[in-house]
Amino acid sequence: MEFAGRTVLVTGASSGIGAAVARRFGALGAHVAVNSAQSIEAGRAVADEVGGSYWQADIADEEQVLAMVAGIIDLTGRLDVVVNNAGTTQVIPHADLDAVTDDVWRRILDVNLMGTWYVSRAAVPHLSEVEDGSIVNVTSIAGLNAIGSSIPYAVSKAGLNHLTVLLARALGPNVRVNAVAPGLVETPWTEAWDAMHDHVAKTAPMRRASTPDDVAEAVLGLTRSKMVTGEVLAVDGGHMQVRG
Ligand SMILES: NC(=O)c1ccc[n+]([C@@H]2O[C@H](COP(=O)([O-])OP(=O)(O)OC[C@H]3O[C@@H](n4cnc5c(N)ncnc54)[C@H](OP(=O)(O)O)[C@@H]3O)[C@@H](O)[C@H]2O)c1
């Protein structure tokens, strides 16, 4: 019960990586605040399973974010860890510039970058009040290498990696800020990406995609590591290293 008495907010926790992170912290005794925007029933089910609470909010909407964080503080009186996991993409071949409309750019940047910014800014006053308040952003190796499901997605994740380091510098010593940058993960998001799964199984040193729990383990490791801040940890079975 390592996290008993502590509150952990996980955005985008109705499925995939976020749900695995919620389960990990829940099993260690934390009160987990489970967020999603649209999948309310699935989010509630995860919250019930981990004995936490459910918060519907589109993280791209700052008013909804502020209401969510205020509600969590009303309920539990504190916020110790924020895992900024919610994200979105649209699969667009990089050479198809015309398919990348302004609306596509705006939605991806609004959710992935601005949403993470809104949640972090709302959380910081509360994270600063506890011992070892910490933020872990879920970014992507698409933000470290020029790859990924679309150009706006990769740019948003590169921005998040940089935001991670900038916030770590700005918020120390009160709040630590780190990121995990997953490679291919077995979630609903990548279910149809058969060619990519085959490629990773053949070429990555670990010969498989990550499971959501592999990523949750890394999130937990960064949360536990009290002298680690400003780190972006690739969780990709070594795939990025062999791609060059
Ligand atoms: N799967 C991979 O291979 C992979 C690789 C690298 C990085 N990642 C990153 O990992 C994170 C989680 O992805 P996943 O694969 O676990 O996907 P997933 O299973 O599709 O889960 C995405 C979660 O984000 C929520 N979400 C989306 N937009 C939101 C918004 N505006 N406000 C609040 N919640 C929102 C979804 O809930 P609603 O549908 O209810 O909105 C859902 O709970 C993302 O940031 C993604 O970029 C994934």
Confidence of residue 240 (pLDDT cuts 50, 70, 90): confident
Ligand 1 atom at shortest distance from the alpha carbon of 86: 24
Q: Which two tokens stand for residue 192?
A: 């149809």
pLDDT > 90 fraction of the chain, expressed in percent and rounded: 98
Q: How far apart (Å, rounded) are the C-alpha atoms in residues 241 and 239?
A: 5
Q: Which of 68, 185, 233 best tests ligand 1's pocket when mutated (most atoms within 8 Å of CB)? A: 185
Look up 54 and say whether it is catalytic: no
DSSP codes joined into one string, 3-61: TTT-EEEETT-SSHHHHHHHHHHHHTTPEEEEEESS-HHHHHHHHHHHT-EEEE--TT-
* Tokens representing residue 16 in the block: 């995939």
Ligand 1 — pocket residues by CB below 6 A? 11-18, 35-39, 58-60, 85-88, 111, 115, 138, 140, 182, 184-185, 187-190
> Of the listed 59, 153, 155, 176, which one is catalytic?
153
Kindly report the pTM of this predicted structure: 0.98
241 pLDDT band (50/70/90 cuts)? Answer: confident
The full set of domains in the chain, from first to last, is 7-243 (3.40.50.720)
Whole-number Å distance, alpha carbon 128 to ligand 1 midpoint, is 27
239, 141 in Cβ contact below 8 A?
A: yes
Alpha helices in 60-211 (DSSP H): 62-76, 102-108, 116-127, 151-171, 194-203
Is residue 222 over pLDDT 70?
Answer: yes
| 222 and 229 Cβ atoms separated by less than 8 Å | no
CA 118 to chain centre: 14
Quick one: pLDDT band at residue 76, thresholds 50, 70, 90?
Answer: very high
Q: What tokens does 221 get?
A: 């490791």
According to DSSP, the β-strands at 232-235 and 175-182 are parallel
Spatial distance between the Cα atoms of 205 and 25, rounded to a whole number of angstroms: 29
The token duo for 24 is: 């990990």
